[in-house]
Chains A and B, each alone.
Chain A
Amino acid sequence: MRIRILAQSVLVGLLLAVTAQAQTVTVMGSTALGPIVKKAAEDFMKANPGVQIAVSGGGSMTGLNQVTSGGCHIGISDVFATPDQEKAGVKNHNIVVQPFTLIAHPGVGVKSLTSLQAEQVFTGKITNWKEVGGKDQKIVRVIRPESSGTRAVQKKEILHDHDFTKDVLIQDSTGAVVNSVATTIGAVSFVELEHLEKNKVRVSGIAYNGAECSNEAVKSGKYPIFSFGHAYTNPAKLSDPKVKQAAEAFLAYILTPAFQQNVVLKAGYLPVDYVKILKTKL
C-alpha cells in the first residue's frame, strides 16, 4: 500500500516535472560568458514567473555543438560558429563586447608594448624582457589551449595569424592563467579585461601601442583588441513554440538597454551597441 502511494507520488512528480520542462530554456557553453548570462536568467525569471532558464557551462564549442544538434536551446560562445554549423542553420546573436588585454608578472618592468613587440614576444623572436626595455628576465609566455576562444582572438589580434612559439606554458582556464602569471617571474599572457580588473594586485596590465585597455578606450576607438560574446540559437530545432518564444524573449532581454547598461558594463564587458560606433573590423 505504502509502495503504491510512493509510486503514485513519484509519477505525479515526474508528470509535473515534464510539464514544467516545457517552459524551460536550456543554455550551455562558454564559462567566460556564464556569469553574465546567469545574472540575466535570474532577472528574467523574476520578471517572467512561468519560465525557467537553466544555464550550464561546458565550454564554447560544447555550447555550439549542443545548440547545433538540438541538445540545448541557446549556445553561448566566445568564438564564431564553424561553416558546418552555420550550414546546419545556427543563428548568431552578439550579446556583449569583451575587451582583451595583455597582462604580465608585476616585476617585469615593462608597461607598454607596440603591436610588433607584442607579436614578437609571442612568436618567440623576443625572449627576454630587457629587449623591450624591462628587467633581465626570461619571458615566460602563458597561453590557453588550442581549442580556446581566447587563444583564437589572441592569435588573430596579437600575432596577426602567425604561429605561437613552441616555448609556452599552457593553462586550462583564464583563472589558472592569472594564477600562473601572478606566481611566475617573467610571465606574460592575454586575458579578458575583467580578469585583470579582478586581479590588479597580483598582475599588471600592459598597454598596447601606448593605449591602456579600459572600457572607455575601447569605446572611443583608441584600444583595438576586443571580440564579441555570442549566443546561438538553432531555429530548426526549436519546435516547441512556447520554448521558442521564451528563448527569443530571453535574448531580447539581454539586449535591452537597461540590462546592457546596468549589468553588462559593471561586469567588465561592453554593451553591444558600442561597436556600432566603432570602426574596427571584427
Chain B
Amino acid sequence: MNDSSESTLAATKPLDAVSGTKRIQPVLPVFRQSRLHRLADRWSHLLFLACSLLVVALIGGILFFLATRGLAAFFPLAGNTGRTLSFSEVFLTTDWAPSSDRFGILPFVAGSLAVTGLALLVAAPTGILTGVFIAKLAPPWMRTLMRQVMDLLVGIPSVVYGIFGLTVILPLVSRTWLTNAPASGFAISAMILSVMIVPTIVSLATDAFESLPPSLDEGSQALGSSRWQAIWHVLMPAAKPRLLTATVLGLGRAIGEAMAVQMVIGNNPQWIALMRESTDRAPFLRALFTPAATLTTELVQELPNTAAGSPWNNVLFAMGLLLYLLTMVLILTTRRLGRGQEA
C-alpha cells in the first residue's frame, strides 16, 4: 500500500514539471496524501473488522458456554459433579423439586410459551393497528406526538413495569375482580409484557406502512376503494413481511424478559401439578390467575444460588440453552417466512 501511493505521488510531480502547463489536478482527498491519515484509515478498517468479529465471537462463545454447562446435566462431562440425568426426565416431566432430586422443566417451557403467546395476542393487533393509525390516518401533529411517546415507552426499563405491576395492578385486580385472591399469574404478566412490547411493534409497524410507495394507496383509492378497504386489502398485505418482523422482535423481547415477569407471575414451578389437582369448573380462567413460572424467571431466581457443577445448576444452564435456541429458531423461521412473502 505504501509503495503504490508513493509511486502515484512520484508520477504526478514530474508530469507538472515537464509539461509546465497549468493542468487541472484531480482533486485528491487530503487525507490520502498524509501518511498518518493513511495509517489511521487502515487501522480503523481493522478496528471495524475486529468489532464485527467480536460480536460474532461473543454470540458463538455464549452458545458454546451454555452448551458445555447445559449438556453437562445429561452427560458425564467435566462440569458435572453429580448425577447424570436423562433427557426425558428433564424435558418431559412437570415435577420441579431439585432439592428432592426431581428436575422436570416442562412447567417453565410451557409457562414461557403461554405468557409470550398471550402477550402477543394482545400486543400484535394493538401495535399493528396503532401503526396504521399513525402512518395513514392521524393528523400530522398527532403523528409526531405519538411517535415521540412510543420512543419514550421503548426506553422505559422493564423493572419499572414490574414495580408498577406489583404495587398497582396486582392489588387492584385482586381487590376488584378476584374477591381478594392473589392475582399473580399469566394474565397480569402477559398484560405487563404486552404493554412493554407494544411500543416496539408500533414503531416498526409505522415504519413498515410509511415505507410503502404512496402509489399503492392512491391507486386503490382511485379504483374506488374506501379508506378501510385500501388499508385492509392493499396496504396490510404489502406490509406483511415487515409487520411479521415487527411482531417477532416484540416476541423476542417478551420471551427474554425476566425482571418484569418475575415480579408479577408468582414464580410457582408446580403450577401444572396444581392445575391438575384443581377441581375448578373454569380451568382456563383459573390458569390465568394461578401463580406460574417461566424459563427466565426461574433462571433469575435460582442461578445465583446453586452450587456450580451440581445437576441443579446444570439443568438451569440447559434451560438457558433452550431459551437461546428457542429464540434463534423463532427469529430464523420468521426471517424465512418474511422473505417468502416479499418475493
Contacts and interface: CB of A to CB of B under 8 A. Distances in A.
A170 B268 contact: yes
B142 interface: no
Contact of A65 (B167, B267, B308): B308
Contacts of A103: none
Contacts of B182: 140, 169, 184, 186-187
Nearest to B82: A84
Interface in B246-280: 262-263, 266-271, 273-274, 277
A183 B267 contact: no
A64 interface: yes
A145 B290 CA distance: 17
9 contacts: A61-B307, A145-B301, A145-B302, A145-B305, A163-B97, A166-B273, A169-B184, A169-B291, A170-B268
A184 B301 contact: no
Interface in B297-319: 300-302, 304-308, 312
A166 B268 contact: yes
Interface string A101-138: 00000000000000000000000000000000000011
B327 interface: no
A213 to B, nearest CB: 25
B267 A179 contact: no
A147 B98 CA distance: 9
A146 B302 contact: yes
Contacts, number: 88
A94 interface: no
A148 interface: yes
A168 interface: yes
A27 to B, nearest CB: 16
A99 B182 CA distance: 28
Contact of B81 (A84, A179, A184): A84
Contacts of B263: 176
A26 interface: no
A36 interface: no
Interface residues of B, number: 37
Interface in B219-241: none
Given A146-B98, A166-B270, A170-B301, A137 B180 contact: yes
B209 to A, nearest CB: 41
Interface string A55-74: 00011111011000100000
Contact of B301 (A84, A147, A167): A147
Q: Chain A: interface secondary structure?
A: mixed
Nearest to A170: B267
A84 B312 CA distance: 15
Given A64-B307, A147-B305, 9 more contacts: A61-B307, A140-B182, A146-B98, A163-B97, A168-B270, A172-B262, A172-B300, A180-B166, A184-B174
Instruction: Name which of A147, A171, A176, A180 has the most chain B CB atoms within 10 A of its CB.
Output: A147
A59 B304 contact: yes
A246 interface: no
B43 to A, nearest CB: 13
A266 B317 CA distance: 40
A263 interface: no
A172 B166 contact: no
Interface of B: 81, 97-100, 166-167, 170-171, 174-175, 180-182, 184, 262-263, 266-271, 273-274, 277, 291, 293, 300-302, 304-308, 312
Interface in A150-199: 163, 166-172, 176, 179-180, 183-187
Contacts of A145: 267, 301-302, 305
A82 interface: yes
Contacts of B97: 146, 163
Contacts of A140: 181-182
Contacts of A60: 305
Contacts of A166: 268, 270-271, 273-274, 277
A161 to B, nearest CB: 11
B305 A59 contact: yes
B166 A179 contact: yes
A65 B307 contact: yes
A147 B302 CA distance: 6
Contacts of B304: 58-59, 61-62
A61 B305 contact: yes
Interface string A211-240: 000000000000000000000000000000
Nearest to A185: B180
Given A140-B182, A147-B306, A166-B268, A172 B301 contact: yes
Nearest to A60: B305
B158 to A, nearest CB: 14
B266 A169 contact: yes
A138 B181 CA distance: 7
Nearest to B263: A176
B112 to A, nearest CB: 16
A51 to B, nearest CB: 28
Instruction: Name which of B99, B175, B277 has the most chain A CB atoms within 10 A of its CB.
Output: B99
A59 B277 CA distance: 34
Interface string A78-99: 0000101100000000000000
Interface string A25-49: 0000000000000000000000000
Contacts of B171: 183-184
A145 B262 CA distance: 12
A61 B98 CA distance: 15
Instruction: Name which of B180, B182, B273, B302 has the most chain A CB atoms within 10 A of its CB.
Output: B182
Contacts of B262: 172
B306 A61 contact: yes
Contact of B268 (A58, A59, A169, A180): A169
